[in-house]
Amino acid sequence: MTQLITRNGTPVSDLTFGTMQFGGTADANESRAMFDAAQRAGINHFDTAVGYTGGASETILGGMIKDQRDDIFLASKVGYIRGASRQNITEQFDRSRKQLNQDAVDLLYLHRFDPDTPLEETFSTMAEFQSAGLIRYIGVSNYAAWQAMKAQSVAKSLGTQIDAIQPMYSLVKRQSEVEIFPMASDQDIALIPYSPLGGGLLTGKYAKGGTGRLTEDERYQARYDQTWMHETATALSELAIELGTDPATLAVAWVKTHPTRPSPIISARSAAQLEPSLAAQNFEMPPDLYARITALSVAPAPATDRLEEA
């Protein structure tokens, strides 16, 4: 897999910290506390997007990293709204850099696939950003494997390549195992999956009457509205009790232990909430425990109609 490195040549950490909640559910003080806690845990990879919390995420993060820029691997995303045309992604990237108070980022993602803009237009623009030194790596987020392969073909024709992909992946959302992970491995694309806690479901808090995205956001309610998902979360919590650890630690560590060695994006509303996820940075999971956790969830069907041969 592509080894992403900081400007000073340091490899990115096993975990990525997502700043989606900076300036939203996490105020400036909690954002600072989480940033500091992430760094103490050895995390140097920080992820944001031009539109997160109306731009506050980038503004807050930019202020935190300005004195240590070469030590930080900075990733952002453009094109979630209004598509991936040259004009739109250029305008959004200009806004992103202004919000971050940075001339360049290390990794820039296309936030989602745009079926209405030719890939040649999108990726020639990204290639130009790269040639101009405005970005070092090119990424895609929320792309299906076939979309990523089409984009990779175009990127390579332009003398560059897709270096990273950001899919959803957790113990209760394993569809990426079917085609995205094998594609990324084949194409030497780094995997940076988001939502390793399944919207907080795998922390076990909802079974205890807790609140969060699954109680406050209809999209997340629908995304995890499957009985087996809640049963998996309960079983993971029971296993965590048995092992004397936290279910969030197990959930994040399970994602990063996949053979493709993804770097899952963790996030939280506060430093206290973040702590169990941070513990996964140094959690070494033996093969028998990995297999035991894997067996708690529903494995997706393989990408073939010959299921009897799988």
Cα 79 to the center of its chain, rounded Å: 16
pLDDT for res 128: 98
Q: What is the pLDDT of residues 33-57, one digit of tens each?
A: 999 999 999 999 999 999 999 999 9
Mean pLDDT lowest among 66-70, 141-145, 222-226: 222-226
| pLDDT (tens digit per residue) in 170-182 | 999 999 999 999 9
94-123 pLDDT, tens per residue? Answer: 999 999 999 999 999 999 999 999 999 999
- In tens, the pLDDT along 182-199 reads 999 999 999 999 999 999
Counting residues of the chain whose pLDDT is more than 90, the rounded percentage is 88
pLDDT score recorded for residue 303: 85
> What's the pLDDT band for 245 if we cut at 50, 70, 90?
very high
pLDDT at 212 over 90: no
| Stretch 75-90: mean pLDDT | 98
**Out of 137-146, 149-158, 293-302, least confident range:** 293-302
Distances (CA, A) of 69 to 33, 64, 74: 18, 9, 8
Confidence band (pLDDT; 50, 70, 90) for 310?
low
Give yes or no for residue 167 having a pLDDT over 90.
Answer: yes
Please give the C-alpha separations between residue 237 and each of 27, 158, 244, 273, in angstroms, as whole numbers. 29, 48, 10, 16
Q: What pLDDT is stored for residue 304 in this prediction?
A: 78
Q: Quick: pLDDT tens for 253-308.
A: 999 999 999 999 999 999 999 999 999 999 989 999 999 999 999 999 888 777 66
pLDDT at residue 307, as a whole number: 67
* Domains, the chain, with CATH or none: 16-198+258-283 (3.20.20.100)
Distances (CA, A) of 271 to 128, 156, 200: 38, 41, 15
- pLDDT score of 118: 98
Contact 197, 203 (CB under 8 A): yes
Q: State the average pLDDT for the chain.
A: 95
* Per-residue pLDDT at 216: 80
Cβ-count burial of 108 within 10 angstroms (0-12 exposed, 13-18 middle, 19+ buried)?
Answer: buried
Amino acid at 239: L
- What are the tokens at 51? 């539109």
> If we measure between CA atoms, which residue out of 29, 66, 23 comes closest to residue 48?
23
CA-only gyration radius of the chain, Å: 19
Classify 25 in phi/psi space as left (phi over 0), alpha (psi -120 to 50) or beta: alpha
Check: pTM over 0.85? Answer yes or no: yes
Share of the chain above pLDDT 70, in %: 98
Task: Report the C-alpha gap between 96 and 101 in whole angstroms.
Answer: 8
